[in-house]
Amino acid sequence: MDGGLSNFMKSIRLVEVKIDSLTEISENVFVLSFKRLFDFLPGQVVAITTGQDIPPRLYSICSGTDEPRISILFNMKLEGELTPRLAKINVGDMVMVSAPFGAFLGDNEPAWWIASGTGIAPYRSMVRSGLGRLNTLIHGGKTRDSFYFSDELQQLYPDKYIRCCSQETGEGLYSGRLTQWLKDQKTLPENTNFYLCGSSEMVVEVRDILLEKGVIIEKIMSEIYF
């Protein structure tokens, strides 16, 4: 973490909350839930840590605004400081969590929602909060099991849910990276916002593809998971 970010993270006020559930939904990918202590806007994040000794990390909320619990989706990084501890947490243990914040917010304007990996989380929150049912959802992942929440998303977006799988093939999957799928599109819709969420590599590459295809920068919203 750079100095500015680390000072910001240290200044965030955290409160203790009890873990209600932890589920491994794919290899090393978990959904963690706790009581909703705060209201939030779909697309926002919370800072979380297991204790004072580890600076908090940010996670997008993946649950809906009216649900009684807040859920996050996280990928356990084997060499990471926090996520291996989060992955071992027991129901009933306490974590420290901030109030929700952030400006990557969904609304009712037409949009394409583009995600890599766990970057699907804020869109799930948006759709579970009643937003974006007519949007197009494009998710990139390496393997067939990278498409978290795909059962529920497939039902909601039968025609407009594109899963781009770069290292495996499978029924209903586009074979290749999501950047290739975007490059393959001859035209992009007008009067549409483009939301990008996930790794910095994906966000930068997709932003460049969109700009090259004539999308104006004001229509591109990004959330980078660094």
Residue 118 binding ligand FAD, by CB under 6 A: yes
C-alpha to C-alpha distance for 146 and 86, rounded to whole angstroms:
20
Q: CA 8 to CA 189: how far, in whole Å? A: 38
Task: Based on the shown chain and the rule CB under 6 A, indicate whether residue 77 belongs to the binding site for ligand FAD.
Answer: yes
- Of 53-61, 108-116, 142-150, 199-207, the segment contacting ligand FAD by CB under 6 A is 53-61
Q: Rule CB under 6 A: choose which of 60, 63, 71, 146 binds ligand FAD.
A: 60
Residues 112 and 123 sit within 8 Å (Cβ to Cβ)? no
Cβ atoms within 10 Å of 125's Cβ, excluding its own: 27
Task: Report the residue number, 57 or 174, with the smaller CB distance to ligand FAD.
Answer: 57
At 31, give phi and psi (nearest 5°). -110, 125
Torsion sign (Cα): 154, 157, 159, 160: negative
Kindly state the DSSP code that residue 37 receives in the 8-state scheme. Answer: -
Select the residue interacting with ligand FAD from 14, 80, 145, 160 (CB under 6 A). Answer: 80
Region near ligand FAD per CB under 6 A, out of 32-40, 75-83, 153-161, 212-220: 75-83
Binding site for ligand FAD (CB under 6 A): 45, 57-60, 72-75, 77, 79-83, 118, 121, 223, 225-226
